[in-house]
A and B are shown apart, each in its own frame.
Chain A
Amino acid sequence: MSWETVLNQAVLVSLLAGTLRLSTPIVFAAIGEILTERAGILNLGVEGIMLMGAFAGFWGAFHTGNLWVGTLLGMAVGALMAFLMAFFSVTLRVDQVISGMGIYFLGLGLSSFLYRITFGIRISPPTVEGFQDLPIPLLNRIPVLGPILFQHNALVYLAILLVPLSVLVLYRTTFGLQVRAAGENPRAADTLGVNVNLIRYLCVVLGGVLVGLGGVVLSVAHLRMFWENMTVGRGFIAIAIVYFGKWHPYRTFAGALLFGGAYALQVWLQAMNAPVPHQLLLMFPYLLTVAVLAVVAREAKGPTALGVPFRRGEY
């Protein structure tokens, strides 16, 4: 292995394309978490919701033979799990760290339990077709940029489009203003007639839809199968990336790309038989997360009311 091999154009193009592809599940989960946290709810159950989305998406795709039906099912189950989180944090007003843990454990256990009882134990694990790449005509023929940006499956494009869309919603609509108000100063928002708790419910559930979709990408588009705890911490990494992105979609997208790059590099190094044991390569994204958090934590100030339950008429 030498620098020439790394800097070879074909390798770089495939690494960058892989970066975009592998960052997709984290983009969905992180944007979902931004929406949730901007409204003032800290959802630490992302990992569990992602796992449930991954299972439901796989189950739906496997049994209907239609990937989009599976995708919608994964999103719906994500919404359902998030609704549970919203009920605990908004209606019951309990400690969000503990309820997030509960949702995480529940999602982890339920997804592996349901997988076991619906698919049983087989000699070879069941698989689905997986999404086909949809090259965008003309654009995909641009040298270098074409294969990096315009030869992906539909979900990758969806993730890329979601980023500016979420900025538009958060910063250019009344709804977005209400969301940010609910997270920054719920008391003031309430005074101005914003239904803070309804906004929070909506954001947590919508966030859950996106987190569930992130899980679907993992099981249906990437690995084309499901196994216990297949997210291996990606849900928590998404939360860390939200910190890194300071709750802003563009910066968060950059953070997700950083991680997509880490995964792509790890896969490539493994394929190249790099002189590093692959267990140590697998550690890399987690070490990177700790490092990134240590660097940005001091200046990452979240929404003021993040994690604080809101009760009308209390001063």
Chain B
Amino acid sequence: MKILNFKVEEGPEPSTLRKVLAPILAILMALLAAAVLIVMAGASPWVAYLSLFSGAFGSVQSLAETLVKATPLLLVALGMIVAFRGRVWNIGGEGQLIAGAIAATWAGLNFGYLPKGMLFLVVLAVSFLAGALWGAIAGALKARLTVNEVIVTIMMNYIAIYGLNYLVRGPLRDPSIAGGFPMSPLIASSAKWPRLIAGTRLHVGVIVALLAAGVIYVFLFRTPWGYRIRAVGANPVAARYGGINVLSSIVLAMFLSGGLAGLAGAGEICGLHYRLLDGISTGYGYTGIVVALLGKLNPFGAILAAIFFGAMVVGMEAMQRAIGTPSALVLAIQGLVVLFMLVGDVLVRYRVRRA
């Protein structure tokens, strides 16, 4: 392609520096575009972003909140990384997280007599399994019947949301709460996860999420199962010729992916709210997808991306309180980040030269 007297052509494999620059460029471009929206809302972007930054990092309290929000985002994103690496498009983090939260609540209500450490493991196990099975349904449908997993996982989200709405109003409702707010009873005190910093909501879930990042890295890049998932993602036909069972690889990817989102649900219940609520997930399942993409589908990149979006969510709430700019802006920024990431991916592959 020629523009004036410059040639735009595809260059060689981009350097690591260029690859690292792409996400940072995407964030900057998204924030620039969002500044236009902030002006439309009648505020100064400068003031808005300052209040966002101080709201997210300004004190121990706000920093802890940022990490609290980053915890489920990281767990969901790790799940997305496993699925996307295998070119399985799991958009169902929201439903899988809810399935995990429901399972964690059930365990927390029924197994309070177990010793703390044991109960902790039981909660992790059942919530992982619940999310994993919720995800594996879409995986099995894709593998067995070639059903498009994007649509199925989205449908499963809505089914989970309505199921949750039903449970907190019906079988799991706490009758003792006045005013008729739909929520479950409190889980057993032995099921509550310890807090890391007194006076904040930061709970051990953040450690669970960081450990999971290491485990997923090892799984993907150091084990045969991870290799198979990546091989199927890179080239399913070649993988089949190489003797890899493509179908079971797809189901495994969805199983693990859903399980990790389920763990995020456990954290929301046992680390934060201690009971099942109507809006237990505020879009973590979707934001987790953006976190995974921004982290370049790398578990350690996802840690940084999760902190960024955790800060965004907390900072936007502070911004809304301070200057009244609607926090729905976070959602728009997510879309912008995804799109600018794609632009960045194209840009790093091309170079501009004098013709």
Contact = CB atoms under 8 A, between A and B. Distances in A.
Interface of A: 44, 48, 84, 88, 92-95, 97-99, 101-110, 112-113, 116-117, 228, 232-233, 236-237, 239-240, 243, 277, 279-280, 282-283, 286-287, 289-290, 293-294, 297-298
A294 B141 contact: yes
Interface of B: 37, 40-42, 89, 91, 141, 145-148, 150-152, 154-159, 162-163, 165-166, 169-170, 286, 289-290, 293, 325-326, 328-336, 338-339, 342-343, 345-346
Given A236-B155, A294-B145, A297-B147, A116 B289 contact: no
User: Which secondary structure characterizes the binding site on chain A?
Assistant: helix
Nearest to A102: B338
23 contacts: A44-B150, A93-B346, A97-B150, A105-B331, A105-B332, A106-B336, A106-B338, A109-B328, A109-B333, A109-B334, A113-B37, A113-B332, A116-B326, A117-B42, A236-B154, A240-B151, A240-B155, A243-B151, A279-B165, A279-B169, A293-B148, A293-B151, A298-B146
B107 to A, nearest CB: 23
A55 to B, nearest CB: 12
A88 B335 contact: no
Closest 10 CB pairs of A and B: A109-B331, A106-B335, A109-B332, A102-B338, A105-B335, A116-B326, A279-B166, A112-B328, A102-B339, A113-B328
Given A233-B155, A287-B159, 14 more contacts: A94-B342, A99-B339, A104-B335, A109-B333, A110-B335, A116-B326, A117-B41, A237-B151, A237-B155, A240-B148, A277-B169, A279-B163, A286-B155, A290-B156
B328 A243 contact: no
A297 B148 contact: yes
Contacts of B146: 297-298
A213 B73 CA distance: 34
A110 B158 CA distance: 21
A294 B339 CA distance: 31
Contacts of B37: 110, 113
Contacts of A236: 150-151, 154-155
B328 A102 contact: no
Contact of B334 (A92, A94, A105, A239): A105
Contact of A116 (B165, B328, B335, B346): B328
A293 B169 CA distance: 30
Contacts of A286: 155-156, 158-159, 162
Nearest to A280: B166
A283 B333 contact: no
Contacts of B342: 88, 92, 94-95, 98-99, 102
A1 B155 CA distance: 30
Contacts of A232: 158
A164 B325 CA distance: 46
A88 B169 contact: no
A106 B325 CA distance: 17
Given A101-B338, A109-B328, A279-B166, A92 B343 contact: yes
A243 B148 contact: yes
Given A117-B41, A286-B158, A105 B290 contact: yes
A277 B170 contact: yes
A94 B346 contact: yes
Given A287-B159, A290-B156, A297-B146, A98 B338 contact: yes
B276 to A, nearest CB: 14
B347 to A, nearest CB: 10
Nearest to A121: B326
A95 B346 CA distance: 11
A185 B144 CA distance: 28
Nearest to A110: B332
A189 B323 CA distance: 55
Contact of A280 (B157, B162, B343): B162
A309 to B, nearest CB: 11
B147, B156, B170: which has the most chain A beta carbons within 10 Å? B147
A103 B290 CA distance: 12
A94 B350 CA distance: 14
Contacts of B152: 290, 293
A289 B346 CA distance: 35
Nearest to A281: B162
Contact of B293 (A84, A98, A106, A294): A98
A293 to B, nearest CB: 5
A218 to B, nearest CB: 16
B40, B293, B333, B339: which has the most chain A beta carbons within 10 Å? B339
A93 B339 CA distance: 12
A76 B334 CA distance: 23
A97 B343 contact: no
B156 A106 contact: no
